[in-house]
Structure 1
Amino acid sequence: MAALAAAMSDASRMKILCALMDGRAWTATELSAVSDIAPSTTSAHLSRLLKANLVTCLSQGRHRYFRLYSASIAALLENMMGVSFGAMQPPKTRVPAELQRARTCYDHLAGEIAVGIYDYLFANAWITSDGNALTPLGKAQFSQLGVMLDAKTKRKKCCACLDWSERKFHLGGHAGAALFQCFEQQGWIEKVPGYREVTVTAKGQAAFSQYFGLANVLN
């Protein structure tokens, strides 16, 4: 734990990790720009993060891309954001509206809309009481929505992920990632390139109201 904390205990490295929270793979040059540090310094920071298994490197041709090592690292960062935010200012009052409404939490949806969806899943028995699994009804409903679930996934199939801005749960794990992918493919949401904010399209607003009863949240 001390070694992990030491690897994260640098403002520039935290900027790099936070940039990677959008779920994409970034080049060192892109991370250098977003972190506002020199390329040589970025390389040193990435080396430290790689050694600590906080990020992983993917090579494609002549290019090297970096992304978070795993969903568990993303969950740790999301929780740290919530702790640090709560320690420095009153909850929710200064959260940017775009981030509060909808954002990525690595590869699944977070924010007010995601919490509303989780509440609907729980109230209608699509997920178990602890949020760790889809019920048979939930699996059937996901299938009707067009959500593609992998029965052989080695990842946690479903989990309740604490949302740092809402202080309530949103859906994480494989089910959360599959649901997010479905929303994108259906054209209900759109990622903001280079940022964690997610935009809900007009089609998405109608769909979220129809399927998850989110009319009050969307207005």
Structure 2
Amino acid sequence: MDMAQAFRPSTIYLLRKLQRHKEAARIIGMFPEARVQIVDRQRDVVLPQHPSRPAIIAGKRVLMIGEASSFLRHFDGCLGSSVRCALYVRLVPISNGCPYYCTYCYLAYVYRDHLPFIKLNINYGKMCDEIRDLTACAQNAISFNMGEMLDSLALDHVSLLASRLVPLFSRLSNRYPPEQRIEFYRLLTDAILAHNKHISISLCRETPYVWDHLKSRCDPRKCNCLIW
């Protein structure tokens, strides 16, 4: 079982202005054993002290239900003085933590040491409005990055983000057209097969239109290479 499915916060901090929010009530109802504390500010929360556990570890069982002033943050592609990557828009519905205890996490001491809790931003109406506004005026396709994707999706059974984002993005008019996605997957699969012709590739979460164009390369019955 995925350890995230066993996530059980011992403490839930709820922003006072969201007390009557239906989404807050739904999430709190999932964890009847948790102690709920109303707070007036999201950043100035004093967590209980655990002498035997670092704040980061203790914060894995602390959930903050709050809101985001903005869900979208533009990244310019700069990764240093001489390294560039593609431009993207960072989407942050869940921020500042995840339910996993990975010892190798390079982000562990970047910001979670200052705000050691998992935060769910539940003002989803604003999130959807921001996405619509940005895509409505964009001339080209936009890449959205949910930060540490594993963090964001690990608690999808709590936040139900996929049920909101998938229909929203499916209705946007300026997504990557199928032809561009086909070309991307064709290049990717050809590169993999050039390295090892015995690899069988399966595509996940794609449309039948894309699948029909690539089924000669992808055999889900003999899959040992999965492309999401």
Q: TM-score scaled by structure 2?
A: 0.25
Where is the helix percentage greater, Structure 1 or Structure 2?
Answer: 1
Q: Which has the larger radius of gyration?
A: 2
